[in-house]
Structures are given as C-alpha cells and as structure tokens.
Structure 1
Amino acid sequence: MSRLALEVQADAQAVVFQEAAHLDAQRWDDWLALYAEDASFWLPAWTDEHRLSVSPDSELSLMYCAARAGLEDRVWRVRSGLSVASTPLPRTCHAVTGCVATAAGEGRVRVESAWTCHVYNVKHRDQHTFFGRYEHLLRPEGEGWRIAAKKIVLMNDVIPTMIDFYCV
C-alpha cells in the first residue's frame, strides 16, 4: 500500500471514529456536519435469520433517512423534548473496531467496520448493548471527507425498548 493510500485509510478511519465520539458526547451539530447534504442513513431489517432487506424503498427498514435533512429532523426531535422515548437521553458509549478502508471509485472510500454501542437508560436504570457492522461510504468535500452513505447492520435486532440514531 502506498503512503498516500495509508493516509487516506487513516483519514477515513478518523471520520468513523469521530462520528462515534460526537454521538457519545451528544455533539449533534458536529455529528451532522460529518454528513453530506444528500447522505443516506440506513438501518435495514432482517427478513429472516440470515437475510437483510436489500432496498429501503421497497422493503422494511428499522430506520431510513434518504438525506441529511432526515437526520436533522431526528436531532430536532431529540433537542425539542418531543421524543418521549429519548427523554431523558440515554448515555451511550460506542466502540468501533476493525476498520478496513477500500477505494470505491470516483475518489470515494468505503469503510467497513464492527461496532458496539452500550446504552444506559437513565430513566429506567437499565442497559443494553447493540452490536453489528457499519458500511460507510465517504467522499471528498472541501478539505475533508463527508459521509455520503451509512448502512448499519444490527446483529441483535430484538430491541428491548426503542432505538434511535444515537444508539447505532
């Protein structure tokens, strides 16, 4: 791997790690700034024990936002207090590992990784751990990278209560 490729891989991994840090610190504006305006955010549902839905337009998804505006709306609901399930906000701790960055054409980079998110529900004093795989598609914008698409594969999809963007 050339020096440039190592730098690109390090930069791409840094975006994924920074995203997790912003979520855990509830720095919503910084988190949203990582996303391109037309970025998709998709959490497909399992259709059986071993098959995920393949299209957010024609099959069931646990969460789907076709553009950053959908994520902005979710953040607004959390901030406004209108999301009863998110009041008070749970504490989260994301761990991202095994990041592998590969070229995706047109200057883009695909980053595949494994993740866990420990969620502590302050209101009910209970906790849950979600885990799975991420697929980030990054593209250069300005002087950095932006998330053009994020697919979240949730491996333990029996959800004890609620799930939202800050839990995955």
Structure 2
Amino acid sequence: MSDQFSKVSALLYEEAAALDEQRWDDWLALFTPDVEYWMPAWDSEHELTQDPTSEISLIYYSDRSGLEDRIWRIKSGMSSASTPLPRTCHLVTNIRVGAVVDGLLQVKANWQGNAYRHEKTDSFYGSYTYGLREEQGKLLIARKKIVLMNDTIPSVVDVYNV
C-alpha cells in the first residue's frame, strides 16, 4: 500500500470517526479555511445540480466559516432539528486516489451513514469526491462534494449524517 494512499485513507477514516464521536472541533480542523463543502440536489433521475450558487443544493458552504456556524448551532443546542443529536456510524470504502488537479489531490470514495434517533434508524449512502491539499505537512480537505443516493430523505439530513 502506498504512503499516499495510507495518508488519504487515514484522513477519510478520521473524518468519519470525528463525526461519529461528535468531536466537532477535530472535525472542523480537517478542513482548509477556503473549503467548499457541497451536497448537490438531484435535478432529475440521473442528473445532479451543477452550480451551488444558482441551483438547489441539499447543503452548501463556500468556506469553513459556514461549517463553523453549523457546528456552533449543533454544539449550542440552538438547532432544534439536531436536538437530540443522533448516534451515528459512518463507513467509508472504495477509496480511489487520483491525480493532482489545480493543486488538489483528487480522491473518490463511497460511504454509508447510519443515524439512530427517536427509536428509529435512518440510513444514508452515496459517494464523496474530495480535493485534498497539504498545508504545513498535513493533508486537509479543500473541497468535498457529497452525492446522496437516497431518493427520499427520511428525516433531517445534516453534516453529521453524511
């Protein structure tokens, strides 16, 4: 296994663990300040929306400050949709490391997230596309696109679900 693949895998697994363990500050620290975090909506049966600034997205943050605000609301209890927080379990698999494009290492992976809340378990699944950048000797997430494959969202979908 290559050293690069090991570093990428460790980053993706740490991201999942930080979400599941509700280590919000550790999770935020995995992202660059200029991160684009995007979960497009389905435009049709097989087409996703293409522009988060002019089309519907399920989640879109143009930089880390949006993620920080979301985590602040979750931690403060001011997000009624996130109270109580679900117990989650994320699985990350089929990690594929690609080339460097525009200074970002391209990575794809598949994921599944299970969330238990109010005596009910919801399952979410899909794929991730990452753009990773090394900063100060550490690999960080500069772009994250989440494709949610569920046709219907059984409850709230938030950063901790995906």
Shorter-chain TM-score: which interval?
A: over 0.9
Say if 2:128 is the partner of 1:134. Answer: yes
Give the Cα separation in 2 of the matches to 1:15 and 1:157.
28
Could you tell me which runs of 5 or more consecutive residues in structure 2 were left unpaired when the two chains were aligned: none
User: 1:23 maps to what in 2?
Assistant: 19
The correspondence for 1:104, drawn from 86, 100, 106, is 100
Say if 2:130 is the partner of 1:166. Answer: no
SS at match of 1:55: coil
How do 1:2-151 residues align onto structure 2 when only pairs under 5 Å count? 6-105=2-101, 107-121=103-117, 124-151=118-145
Letter in 1 for 2:152: V
Give the Cα separation in 2 of the matches to 1:23 and 1:116.
13
Give the Cα separation in 2 of the matches to 1:155 and 1:66.
22
Give the Cα separation in 2 of the matches to 1:158 and 1:111.
27
C-alpha contact (below 8 Å) 1:12/1:109 kept by paired residues = no
SS at match of 2:101: coil
C-alpha contact (below 8 Å) 1:65/1:71 kept by paired residues = yes
Letter in 1 for 2:159: F
Paired-residue identity, %: 49
SS at match of 1:128: strand
Could you tell me which runs of 5 or more consecutive residues in structure 1 were left unpaired when the two chains were aligned: none
The number of equivalent residue pairs is 162
Moved over 3 A (4+): none
TM-score, with structure 2 as normaliser: 0.97
TM-score, with structure 1 as normaliser: 0.93
Query: Over aligned residue pairs, what C-alpha RMSD do you find?
Result: 1.1
